[in-house]
Amino acid sequence: MRLRRVIAVTAAAAAAVLATTAAVFPGVPADRPQPLPALTTPALDARYAADSRMIAQAARAADRAGNQGLARALEALRGQHFLDFNPRGPGLAVEVLGDLARARRVAILVPGSDTSLTTFDSRGTASPGGTARALAAQARRIDPRAHLAIIAWLGYAPPATLSPGVLTSGDAEQGALALRPLVDDLARHGDQVVLICHSYGSVVCGLAAPHLPVTDIAAIGSPGMDASSVQTLHTTARVWAGQGAGDWIRDVPHIRLLGLGFGPDPASPAFGARLFDCGGGGHSGYFQPGSIALRNLADIVLGDAGRVTR
């Protein structure tokens, strides 16, 4: 009962955030992510500068509307490198850590439910921005010379934890449609692309996976990938799955019935993924500094499968 109350409060808060965001930036839901610019330093710098100006404008608009929480969250994003930003509707934000122009390997972090502009970088390692920084720091400790870039990708509108949308793949389908062009563009540039997919984000990755040019897909804290097995993902990528011993997602029925649910647990042996150790952490603990989950995820991102512990 305590878990249900916590989830209910979280969902109510997320719904309130989305409602106030829509009030500040009225109109249709956020546009599809912008096309990737040329992966050169001048072109990327121009995109980062343009999105920084847009973030500043959005922060001022939120402040004028009296939404101080959103204004503070947006102000904190200024000066970072954003490949895309759109404040309308629930919002889009795509942050880059590292030198994308010179990267040889790119990790895209796909977040799950209850993620919005307000929470993009406000919940430590439970938010996309904090997740990306924790993973980048761990990867640097392992290999300081790696040509790695990490993208915190809020390129779709995730559902609230307790909402009809979180039980279906509708929002995930929109996310998959938005994710595929980014991956394709990076692969055409010659980058090796890795998907790290948390919670409902693993549904997005499962739907995007068929024939997608990625080297690895890692699902963590997954409710299912809308697939019955690795084979039905139709991917040549290494598919990884991990689940913390304290993650409440293990108690969620992994079924698919009448359009509800997302099928088997990717962390079950029968699914056929490469299982890796995530320690005893909870649903938001996969990127905690010093954790075995974070170390294994960094090894997956760096392409060092032999170092990943099972």
pLDDT at 32: 62
Q: How far apart are CA 221 and CA 281, in angstroms?
A: 10
Q: Record the tokens describing residue 173, joined without a space.
A: 């389908």
Angle at 86 between CA 84 and CA 89, to 5 degrees: 145
What residue ranges define each of the domains in the chain, with the CATH number in brackets? 2-307 (3.40.50.1820)
Mapping DSSP to helix (H, G, I), strand (E, B) and coil, where does residue 166 land? Answer: helix
Q: What percent of the chain clears pLDDT 90, i.e. is strictly above it?
A: 78
Average pLDDT over residues 102-118: 95
Average pLDDT over residues 148-177: 90
- Digit-coded pLDDT (tens) for 33-70: 788 999 999 999 999 999 999 999 999 999 999 999 99
pLDDT at 233: 97
How is residue 23 annotated by DSSP?
Answer: H
Q: Cβ–Cβ contacts within 10 Å for residue 231, how many?
A: 11
- What pTM does this model have? 0.88
Do residues 291 and 252 touch, judged by C-beta distance below 8 A? no
- Would you say residue 30 has pLDDT above 80? no
Q: How far apart are CA 29 and CA 158, in angstroms?
A: 12
How high does pLDDT run on average in the chain? 89
Do residues 240 and 216 touch, judged by C-beta distance below 8 A? yes
- Would you say residue 3 has pLDDT above 70? no
Average pLDDT over residues 221-225: 96
Average pLDDT over residues 119-139: 95
Do residues 21 and 89 touch, judged by C-beta distance below 8 A? yes
Q: How far apart are CA 179 and CA 156, in angstroms?
A: 8
- Digit-coded pLDDT (tens) for 180-208: 999 999 999 999 999 999 999 999 999 99
Q: Record the tokens describing residue 186, joined without a space.
A: 């990076």
- Digit-coded pLDDT (tens) for 227-270: 999 999 999 999 999 999 999 999 888 887 777 889 999 999 99
